[in-house]
Amino acid sequence: MALSDDAAPTALFLVHGWGFTPDFWQPVRARLGRVETTMLDFGFFGPENMTARPAGRHVAVGHSLGALWLLLNPPPDCVGMLLINGFARFGATSDYPQGIPRRVIERMMRGLEQHPDDVVATFRGRAGIATPAPGPARAGRLDQALELLRDADARGVLDGEADAALPPIRVLAGGEDPIAPPAMVEAGFRDRVPVEWIEGGGHLLPLTHPDRCAAAIARLMAETGRP
């Protein structure tokens, strides 16, 4: 994951997490100023936009589910990734006990069948936000995303020759994240990706620590350009 010698990118590609919308990024965007921004929308509360991609060289930033999605779907012309509250795998396996147990994820999936808004509200509360969701939950899309969180594994893309196809990757993590705790982050990235820890930080760093997130993005944009 060598840094590029080309001019620094001026565009951002932002991918939000489970139970949120692209508006999640507003505090960070406000601190970055006039930066061309494209945002993916999983459509958890309205129309989805899964085809949005920036034109040309850019830095991609994903939060939680969005970080995993980026590792599995690195966009063309992406010259750097920042994974905020991210992980290389979410669901636990026999070789990855630090993940979230399958039964927990599947309990959420069953709950979506009957009370999707309650499932979302419970998750958002655990993540650290008390404000209501921005609209009625789209249970089908939320369920598909939970399947991805349960089953997807991006650890392999960080190993060996697969790593050469990825841009430089940085991780910004919360020291007290209740959704993606430090043990999960460390086990998933296995010292292959630099992790910057925010002491006392939780799972919603773009909301609680937007200055740190914006600084990390600006730093990565500068690193991926000319020295």
The model's pLDDT over 19-69, given as tens digits with 9 standing for 90+, comes to 999 999 999 999 998 889 999 999 999 999 999 999 889 999 999 999 999
Output the domain CATH number for residue 121: 3.40.50.1820
Q: Is residue 135 part of a domain?
A: yes
Q: Which domain holds residue 102?
A: 57-221
Measured CA to CA, the distance from residue 179 to residue 126 in angstroms comes to: 8
Q: Is residue 22 part of a domain?
A: no
Q: Is residue 8 part of a domain?
A: no
Q: Is residue 11 part of a domain?
A: no
Q: What share of the chain has pLDDT > 70, as a percent?
A: 93
**Chain-wide mean pLDDT for the chain?**
92
Q: Is residue 84 part of a domain?
A: yes
162 pLDDT band (50/70/90 cuts)? low
Beta-bridge mates of residue 170: 82
Read off the pLDDT of each residue in 162-178 and give the average, rounded to a whole number.
88
Confidence check: pLDDT of 227 > 70 = no
Measured CA to CA, the distance from residue 10 to residue 118 in angstroms comes to: 39
Which pTM value belongs to this model?
A: 0.93
Measured CA to CA, the distance from residue 18 to residue 12 in angstroms comes to: 20
Confidence check: pLDDT of 7 > 70 = no
Q: What is the pLDDT of residue 85?
A: 98
CB-hemisphere CA count at 13 Å for 114? 4
Q: How many domains does the chain have?
A: 1
Q: Is residue 102 part of a domain?
A: yes
Confidence check: pLDDT of 215 > 70 = yes
Q: Is residue 6 part of a domain?
A: no
Burial of 216 per CB tally in 10 Å (0-12, 13-18, 19+) = buried
Q: What is the pLDDT of residue 159?
A: 82
Q: Is residue 40 part of a domain?
A: no
Q: Lowest mean pLDDT: which of 17-21, 53-57, 159-163, 170-174?
A: 159-163
Q: What is the pLDDT of residue 3?
A: 38
